[in-house]
Amino acid sequence: MNKMLCMFSVFIILSGCNQEKETDMDIPKIPLKEFFKNPEVTGYALSPDGKNLAYLAPVKQRLNVFVKTLNGENAKQITKETKRDIAGFIWKGSDRILYMKDNAGDENFALFGLQIDSGMIQGYTNFDNVLTNIIDDLPDDDLHVIIGMNKRNPQIFDAYRLNVQTGDLTMIAENPGNISSWMTDHKGKLRVAIQTDGVNSSVLHRLDEYATWDTIITTNFREMFSPQFFDFNDTTVAYGISNIGRDKAALVKVDMTTGKELKVVYQNDLNDISGAAYSHRRKVLTSVFWIGDKAQRSGFDPTVDGIYKHLEQELPGVEIYLTSTNKAETIYLVKTTNDKSRGSYYSFSVSDKKLQKIADVSPWLNEAFMADMKPITYKSRDGLTIHGYLTLPKGEIPKNLPVVVNPHGGPWARDVWGFNPEVQMLANRGYAVLQVNFRGSTSYGRSFWEASFKQWGQSMQNDISDGIRYLVKEGIVDQNRIGIYGGSYGGYATLAGVTLTPDLYACAIDYVGVSNLFTFMETIPPYWIQYREMLYEMVGDPIKDKEMLSRYSPALHADQIKTPLFIAQGANDPRVKQSESDQMVKALKDKGVEVEYMLKTNEGHGFRNEENKFEFYAAMEVFLDKHLRPDMHRNL
Q: Tell me which residues are annotated as active site.
A: 488, 573, 605
Q: What is the CA 126 to chain-centroid distance, rounded?
A: 25
Determine contact, residues 543/474, Cβ cutoff 8 Å. no
Alpha helices in 451-488 (DSSP H): 459-473
Alpha helices in 266-359 (DSSP H): 302-314
Pairing of strands 401-405, 250-255: unpaired
The DSSP annotation for 333-401 comes to EEEEEETTEEEEEEEEETTTTEEEEEEESSTTS-GGGSPPEEEEEEE-TTS-EEEEEEE--TTS-SSSE
Q: How far apart are CA 318 and CA 615, in angstroms?
A: 32
Burial class (CB in 10 A: 0-12, 13-18, 19+), 97: buried
**Residues recorded for the chain:** 636
DSSP conformation class of 328: T
Measured from the Cβ of residue 619, the count of other Cβ atoms closer than 10 Å reads 15
End-to-end CA distance of the chain: 30
* Neighbouring residues of 358: CB distance < 8 A, sequence distance ≥ 6: 44, 53, 72, 333, 344, 345, 346, 347
Q: How many CA atoms lie within 13 A of 562 on its CB side?
A: 5
Among 133, 131, 173, smallest CA distance to 155 is for: 131
